[in-house]
Chains A and B, each alone.
Chain A
Amino acid sequence: MAAAIEFRGVNKWFGPLHVLQDVDLTVEAGEVVVVCGPSGSGKSTLIRCVNRLEVIQKGEIVVHGQSITGPRVHLSRLRAEVGMVFQSFNLFPHMTALENVMLAPVKVKGLPGAGAEKIARDLLERVRIPEQADHYPANLSGGQQQRVAIARALAMQPRIMLFDEPTSALDPEMINEVLEVMTDLAREGMTMMVVSHEMGFARRVAHRVVFMDGGQVVEVQPPEAFFAAPTSDRTKDFLSKILSH
């Protein structure tokens, strides 16, 4: 397997706050990595560095063999290759579901309207809400909005998908419909970094689980080992807190 994302000695500060400390991590192509950890541990910041929503101060991040932390990075090209899904969906409220998915293919790739619409309708089919194409975000449930957001991210045919707590803002009964779509995606071989506390999803779908605390990667394990025999005390403490109920 070839490396899709490599973090090499990555450091980042927000003012005096050292939010990422010497992070070394490699995500292989086709691999699904779930990143968990307590609030403020730097996990969202870590994945936001991969598409340069955050800039790091020290170290290097390499995506598909190309450094993305140097001065000359083609940001639009990088971001077309790396799709992202946010906790708060962030759909464009003035556009229908279909238009949300079509925008980037038309404006960035210059696809003709008809071609982009075909792609968008196929994607809405894939996330199982073809019938919502002409609805505005405000008229969709949270789970439906998040699935439109996934379709929107897939519309640029990215090779990597980043998920930043994709189910944290959802009502419990809608979490599964989103996780199912993500599971499909993982089965199709998409490279995925998922910040999430859905441990069931991590157990079933992840190839490896990363535990972060205080800006450091504390533990990286396949899920069986991660849940059965965590090596670090901090991981044990965290797991006991979120798995106890």
Chain B
Amino acid sequence: MKYQFNWSVLWSGQSGQWLLSGLILTLELSVLAWLMAVVLGTVAGAFRTAPWKPLRAVATFYVEFFRNVPLLVWMFFWYFGVPPLLPRALQDWVFAHSLEFWAAVCALGVYSGARFSEVLRSGIQSIPRTLIEASVASGLTVAQAYRHVILPIALRLIIPPATSESLNLLKNSSVALTISVAELTFQTRQIETYTAKAIEALTAGTLVYLVLCVTIASIMGWVERRTAIPGLITGGRGESR
């Protein structure tokens, strides 16, 4: 029997509403996890290059621990493993406030942060050591040198790989369906279940992810051009002065 396409399943019934709520949840989850990943990744990436061993050790532990376990396992860990360890009051609160969502934010944020930290570390290590010397020689502390000189340069340098990491994070948010977060992929599966139209449902999901990713990549490209440091090779556009 030939497959009968029926695209109207995407806008009849509740499909449209499901897709929209899935999209919103995917965005909420990704944005929160991204903020967490950037903060954790920046701190850990900076610590890994710090001239003080205990800081490097803490950061190395974080990175190796969290990036070397599958994301799926982290989802289960934060969803099933962590809540019983929490104090009673906090437990009641998370059970009443969509535990699965916050577990997914933590799993995705902490995991992506470990990956982001390595991207930042490679950016920092590409900066000549003499620039730190010049900073501290003018009286800045090492922390101030990182804050005002090293990180502003490194963060600009790593925009292309950080864009890839951000897109990965968005796409990885679909793993949250395994702990029943009703995000975009969860909703396309739901449409499929209700309408028995797998190709249509998955096509809709695919297109939404594609549009989101292309949009993010364009925004990051714009940020890259806006913040380019004169004299460095930027975006294949030659000198942008």
A→B interface (CB under 8 Å): 51, 53, 75-77, 79-80, 83-84, 86, 88, 90-94, 103-104, 107-109, 136-139, 149, 152-153, 155-156
Contacts and interface: CB of A to CB of B under 8 A. Distances in A.
A83 B229 contact: no
A100 to B, nearest CB: 9
A90 B148 contact: no
Contacts of A92: 131, 134-135, 149, 153
B92 interface: no
Given A86-B130, A88-B130, A107-B148, A93 B137 contact: no
Nearest to A80: B139
B241 A139 contact: yes
Contacts of A77: 139
Contacts of A103: 138, 140, 148-149
Given A88-B130, A137-B231, A94 B138 contact: no
B126 interface: no
Interface string B178-212: 00000000000000000000000000000000000
Nearest to B138: A104
Interface in B115-158: 128, 130-131, 133-141, 144, 148-149, 152-153, 156
Interface of B: 128, 130-131, 133-141, 144, 148-149, 152-153, 156, 229-232, 241
Contacts of B139: 76-77, 79-80, 104, 108-109, 156
A32 to B, nearest CB: 20
B62 to A, nearest CB: 28
B231 A139 contact: yes
Interface centre among B138, B144, B148, B149 (most CB of A within 10 A): B138
A48 B241 CA distance: 35
Given A53-B137, A84-B137, A156-B138, 9 more contacts: A51-B137, A86-B137, A90-B131, A93-B231, A93-B232, A103-B140, A103-B148, A107-B140, A153-B138
A94 B144 CA distance: 15
A158 B115 CA distance: 43
A136 B231 contact: yes
A53 B136 CA distance: 8
B141 A76 contact: yes
B19 to A, nearest CB: 42
Contacts of B137: 51, 53, 79, 83-84, 86, 153
Nearest to A81: B139
A76 B232 CA distance: 31
A90 B134 contact: yes
Q: What are the nearest 8 A-B pairs in CB distance?
A: A138-B231, A90-B134, A80-B139, A136-B230, A104-B138, A108-B139, A84-B137, A138-B230
Contacts of B241: 139
A153 B232 CA distance: 25
Contacts of A153: 137-138
A90 B229 CA distance: 15
Nearest to B141: A76
Contacts of A137: 230-231
B230 A108 contact: no
A108 B149 contact: no
Nearest to A48: B133
Nearest to A84: B137
A152 B144 CA distance: 16
